[in-house]
C-alpha cells in the first residue's frame, strides 16, 4: 500500500485507529528537513542535515485517553502500532473530559495567505549556506580583532510539512520554511570577566536575513558594549526593557494564562477576567494571522480555527489560553491551548526617545536566569543592561536583580515603544516602567 501524500496517510491511519477500537482519534503526520552549520576560528565546527518523518496519534477509547508517536510509517507497521496503542489505552482510567473538540470549533477556518513558504528553499545550495555563515564570522572577527575571545557564527534553514486528520471531520495541512543566521561573541575584560552577547536574524523567507556582515558586526558591538560592566548601588528608578528582552517578561507570566494552571488553582490570574491587571497602556493580542509571522497558523494543534484573541485590553484581562480538555473541566469555551504571535499595541516613541524623556534610568537588554511563580505572581531575575543619564548611555551594568509581583509590576508601566522586535513570535516593543527597585551593591 502506498500513499500519494501526508493527508492521505493521515486519513488512512485515523481510519485504522477507529477500526482497532478507538471511539475517536486524531492523527498528525509531519516531515521536517533541517540543515544547520556553524563556524569557529574560520573552520566548520558543526554540520548537521536531517530529514525526520513522524506520526502522532491521540486516542480516545471508552472514555480513556492516550497519545503515541512513531517514525515507522510503513502501513503494516502502523497497523500493528495502532492496534497495540488502542489495547494499552484500555488499561488507563476513565476521564469524561477527554474527547475531541466539538466540530463547531473547526468552522470558519481563515483562508488568508499567510505567506509562510519561501519557494526558493529547495534551490538553496550547500555552497550558499557556507558562504553566508563564513561572511558572518569574517565580519565579526574583523570588527572585534583582539578585543574578542571567541566568535561562533551559525546558520540553519528548515522546511516543515504537517497534516492533521481527526475522526470527527477535521482535516488540515500546513507548511512553512525558516532561515536563520547569527553570531555569539565573547569579549575580553578585566580579570575573569567574559562579557558575551549575540545577534540573530531570520524568518520564513530567506530575504529576512540581512547582509551577513551586518549580523556579525552587530553581535560584536553588543558584546563589546558589555566590557567594564559592574553593579551600581540599589536604587528605585525608571527602567526601559529593550524590545528584544521584553518578550521574557511575557514569558514570565505566560503560565498564569494557561487552562491547566487555572484549573489546578495555580494561576495568579484566576478569577480576574474583566479586571484591571496592568496599566491602561498595555494591550496585547494573540494574532495567528500575521503575514510572515513566526507562529502564524490557520488552526491550532487540536484543529480549532485560528482567530485574533485579545489577551489584555487597555490593562484589562480579556482571555486565557484554554484548550478543549481544560475548557470542559473549567466549564469554559475553548480559545486555544497554545500561543501564536503575541502582538503588543505600540506607542509613539522608540527606545532612544524614551531615554531622552526619562533622562536617567537603566536600559535592560537581557535577563540572566530567573524564575516566576504562576501561583503567586512573584518573579525575580538578574539583568544585564546600561545606566543612562541625560538620555545617553554612560556605563554598562550587571550583577543586578529585578524582582517583583506581576499583579503590581505591570501597573507601573508608563510607556510602550514603537519598535516591535521583528525576530520572534513575541512581537514586543520597548517597555518603560517607573518606580522599580533595582537591587545592586
pLDDT of residue 345: 98
Integer angstrom CA distances of residue 405 from 200, 221, 274, 376: 31, 33, 20, 8
Say whether 121-161+171-224 and 6-33+45-106 share the same fold.
yes
Residues in the chain: 441
Q: Please give the average per-residue pLDDT across 24-31, as a whole number.
A: 98
Q: Is the pLDDT of residue 2 over 80?
A: no
Q: Are 341 and 275 in contact (CB under 8 A)?
A: no
Q: Is the pLDDT of residue 31 over 80?
A: yes
pLDDT of residue 394: 96
The C-alpha cell 477500537 sits at 21
Q: Please give the average per-residue pLDDT across 131-152, as a whole number.
A: 97
Q: Is the pLDDT of residue 193 over 90?
A: no
**Model pLDDT for residues 91-109, shown as the tens digit of each residue:** 999 999 999 999 999 999 9
Alpha-carbon dihedral sign for residues 421, 426, 429, 432: negative
Residue 208 — pLDDT band, cuts 50, 70, 90?
confident
* 191 or 73, greater pLDDT: 73
Q: Give CA–CA dist 165/55, Å, rounded.
A: 11
Residue 1 — pLDDT band, cuts 50, 70, 90?
low
* Mean pLDDT score of the chain: 96
The C-alpha cell 487597555 sits at 314
Binning the chain into helix, strand and coil, the percentages to the nearest 5 are 25, 40, 35
Query: 121-161+171-224: what CATH class?
Result: alpha beta
Beta strands in 302-391 (DSSP E): 309-313, 316-317, 342-344, 361-372, 378-389
pLDDT of residue 217: 97
pLDDT of residue 192: 83
pLDDT of residue 180: 98
Q: Please give the average per-residue pLDDT across 113-139, as a whole number.
A: 96
Which one of 2.40.37.10, 2.60.200.30, 3.30.540.10, 3.30.2290.10 gives the CATH number of domain 6-33+45-106?
Answer: 3.30.2290.10
Q: Is the pLDDT of residue 70 over 80?
A: yes
Residue 441 — pLDDT band, cuts 50, 70, 90?
low
Kindly list the domain boundaries of the chain, sorted by start residue: 6-33+45-106, 121-161+171-224, 235-439
Rg (CA), the chain: 24
Q: Are 367 and 248 in contact (CB under 8 A)?
A: yes
Please name every residue paired with 385 in a beta bridge, in sequence order, or none if there are none: 364, 397
Closest CA to 268 of 173, 373, 166, 397: 373
Closest CA to 354 of 419, 410, 412, 400: 419
Amino acid at each position: 500500500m502506498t500513499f500519494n501524500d501526508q493527508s492521505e496517510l493521515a486519513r488512512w491511519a485515523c481510519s485504522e485507529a477507529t477500526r482497532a477500537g478507538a471511539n475517536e482519534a486524531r492523527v498528525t503526520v509531519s516531515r521536517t528537513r533541517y540543515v544547520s552549520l556553524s563556524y569557529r576560528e574560520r573552520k566548520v565546527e558543526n554540520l548537521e542535515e536531517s530529514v525526520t518523518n513522524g506520526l502522532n496519534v491521540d486516542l480516545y477509547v471508552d472514555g480513556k485517553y492516550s497519545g503515541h508517536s512513531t517514525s515507522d510509517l510503513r502501513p503494516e507497521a502502523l497497523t500493528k502500532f495502532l492496534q497495540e496503542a488502542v489495547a494499552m489505552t484500555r488499561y488507563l482510567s476513565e476521564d469524561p473530559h477527554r474527547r475531541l473538540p466539538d466540530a463547531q470549533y473547526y468552522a470558519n477556518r481563515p483562508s488568508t495567505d499567510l505567506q509562510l513558504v519561501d519557494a526558493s528553499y529547495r534551490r538553496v545550495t550547500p555552497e550558499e549556506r557556507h558562504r553566508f555563515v563564513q561572511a558572518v564570522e569574517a565580519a565579526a572577527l574583523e570588527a572585534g580583532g583582539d578585543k574578542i575571545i571567541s566568535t561562533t557564527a551559525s546558520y540553519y534553514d528548515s522546511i516543515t510539512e504537517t497534516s492533521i486528520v481527526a475522526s470527527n471531520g477535521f482535516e488540515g495541512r500546513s507548511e512553512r520554511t525558516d532561515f536563520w543566521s547569527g553570531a555569539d561573541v565573547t569579549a575580553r575584560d578585566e580579570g575573569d570577566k567574559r562579557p558575551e552577547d549575540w545577534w540573530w536574524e531570520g524568518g520564513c523567507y530567506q530575504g529576512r536575513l540581512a547582509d551577513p556582515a551586518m549580523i556579525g558586526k552587530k553581535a560584536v558591538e553588543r558584546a563589546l558594549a558589555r566590557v567594564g560592566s559592574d553593579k551600581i548601588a540599589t536604587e528605585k528608578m525608571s527602567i526601559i526593557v529593550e524590545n528584544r528582552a521584553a518578550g521574557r517578561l511575557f514569558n514570565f507570566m505566560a503560565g498564569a494564562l494557561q487552562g491547566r494552571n487555572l484549573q489546578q488553582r495555580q494561576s495568579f490570574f484566576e478569577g480576574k477576567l474583566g479586571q484591571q491587571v496592568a496599566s491602561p497602556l498595555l494591550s496585547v493580542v494573540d494574532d495567528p494571522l500575521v503575514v510572515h509571522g513566526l507562529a502564524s497558523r490557520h488552526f491550532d494543534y487540536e484543529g480549532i480555527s485560528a482567530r485574533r484573541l485579545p489577551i489584555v485590553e487597555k490593562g484589562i484581562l480579556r482571555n486565557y489560553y484554554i484548550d478543549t480538555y481544560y475548557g470542559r473541566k473549567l466549564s469554559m469555551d475553548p480559545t486555544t491551548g497554545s500561543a501564536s504571535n503575541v502582538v503588543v499595541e505600540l506607542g509613539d516613541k522608540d527606545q532612544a526617545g524614551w531615554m531622552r524623556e526619562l533622562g536617567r534610568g537603566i536600559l535592560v537588554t537581557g535577563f540572566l536566569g530567573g524564575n516566576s511563580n504562576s501561583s503567586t505572581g512573584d518573579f525575580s531575575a538578574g539583568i544585564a543592561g546600561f545606566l543612562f543619564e541625560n538620555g545617553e548611555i554612560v556605563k554598562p551594568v550587571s550583577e543586578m536583580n529585578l524582582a517583583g509581583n506581576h499583579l503590581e509590576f505591570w501597573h507601573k508601566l508608563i510607556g510602550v515603544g514603537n519598535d516591535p522586535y521583528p525576530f520572534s513570535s513575541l512581537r514586543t516593543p520597548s517597555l518603560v516602567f517607573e518606580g522599580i527597585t533595582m537591587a545592586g551593591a
